[in-house]
Amino acid sequence: REEINRLIREAGLPEEQQLSPAAISREASRNELIARNLRDLREQTKAMMAELGDKPTGETTALILEMSRALMYRRLRAATESLNSDSDVDMRLIKDILLSAQRAESAAERSIKREKEIRAAFAEEMANAVTDELRGVDGMSEQLESRIKGILLGKA
């Protein structure tokens, strides 16, 4: 603090520009809050990566969408709590939150659809592999092969 104040005096700036102990304390508190938030974010990210690791991307997408919904809700709640009257409503914020919600829900629907397509393709691949493996086995008829394939594809 003394070094900074010396530089302020040498620069010919007014005395009120010098740093007070209270100003340094406030800045330290703000910096500590930022650092704490970053540490929390890092811990949450590590936990999330440990949890998701090798899981399908559908679960990752679902988690990201849930986090987005939570952030939108917190932002809307904070804006609502700061209102003094209905005339203070920030319509741009409302519009942005509604658009974000719409996009998040659309992304969720696409993610669910993609996950179903991936599962269906995997089931088809497994059914083909099983029927290929069983083809030609004594006593295995085409009808039985078709039945097994239908069961594996969930069409039985």
- Does a structural domain hold residue 155? no
Q: What are the tens digits of pLDDT across the range 21-60?
A: 888 888 888 888 888 887 887 787 677 667 665 555 566 6
For residue 140, what pLDDT is reported? 67
Mean pLDDT of the residues in the chain: 79
For residue 76, pLDDT over 60 is answered with yes
For residue 21, what pLDDT is reported? 86
Total structural domains in the chain? 1
- Does a structural domain hold residue 3? yes
Tell me the average pLDDT across 145-150. Answer: 78
Question: What one-character-per-residue DSSP string does 57-71 give?
Answer: HHHHHHHHHHHHHHH
Closest C-alpha to 147, from 137, 95, 138, 130: 130
Domain holding 22, by residue range, is 1-54
- Does a structural domain hold residue 31? yes
Question: What whole-number distance in Å separates Cα of residue 97 and Cα of residue 69?
Answer: 10
For residue 75, what pLDDT is reported? 79
- Does a structural domain hold residue 71? no
Q: What are the tens digits of pLDDT across the range 107-142?
A: 878 878 888 888 888 888 888 887 777 776 666 677
Q: What residue spans of the chain are helical by DSSP H?
A: 2-10, 21-52, 57-81, 91-134, 142-152
Question: What whole-number distance in Å separates Cα of residue 22 and Cα of residue 155?
Answer: 72
- Does a structural domain hold residue 33? yes
Tell me the average pLDDT across 136-153. Answer: 74
Band the pLDDT of 97: cuts 50, 70, 90: confident
For residue 53, what pLDDT is reported? 59
